Amino acid sequence: MPTAFKEWAVTVRALAEGEQLVTLRKGGIRDDRKHFELEHDRFFLYPTFEHRRNDVVRASHQPELRRALEEGVWPDDEPSAHALTRDGGIPQPERVRIRAWAEVAGHWRVTDPRTVDALSPYYVWTTDYAEKRLSWKRFHPLHVILLRTYRIPRPVTVKVRDDFYGRHPWLEVTRDLPFEGTPVLSDEEFDRASEEIEAIVEGGVVDRTPVLA
């Protein structure tokens, strides 16, 4: 069964549009029990609406919040504008649309907040929120994962099962999904950005992890 990686719907949307190239992780979604492990080198991007926070997205990317609603399928049409609140009062959808997959192009562990701040052109969150991800479990480094994202030819709608909820960042999708499609950035654009990201993290890396084969 295809493996998917859980991320906030707005983050998935940004990755699929080429607006975000890295994701930052220390544990599962609100997981106090264990550290994050990069278990796969290629996976689909599964949009979630759990614990959605709208105040952690930079003002320049606030329009992504509304577009991210398109990743969910609700029984009574999409949530109205009042759902776009600070606490993201959005009911969980019955189905979600999977429109992209990603492969790991780089993986580092960092501890310097200046590195997290310098990476801000490559994520849509506020730098304050990104630094809070670093400070949580402060004795452990933050995973910086560079993703090469691809849009699949046609979005696939997946029923949300009860076991899809919870803290673990990985899940298995019980239907066929194609590892095919178009990269969201050209090779030239992605290579240039990759070089810039690597240059940023070199000074703050505490444990370089090779790109998965």
Write a three-state SS string for 14-67. Answer: HHHCCCCCEEEECCCCCCCCCCCCCCCCEEEEEEECCCCCHHHECHHHCHHHHH
Topology of the domain covering 3-202: 2.30.130
Parallel/antiparallel/unpaired status of strands 42-48 and 182-183: unpaired
pLDDT score recorded for residue 213: 39
Q: Name the pTM for this structure.
A: 0.84
In the chain, what are the domain boundaries?
Answer: 3-202
Q: What is the pLDDT of residues 74-131, one digit of tens each?
A: 776 666 544 544 455 566 788 899 999 999 999 998 888 889 999 999 999 988 888 7
**CA 77 – CA 5 distance, rounded (Å):** 25
**CA 160 – CA 96 distance, rounded (Å):** 7
What's the mean pLDDT when you consider all of the chain?
81
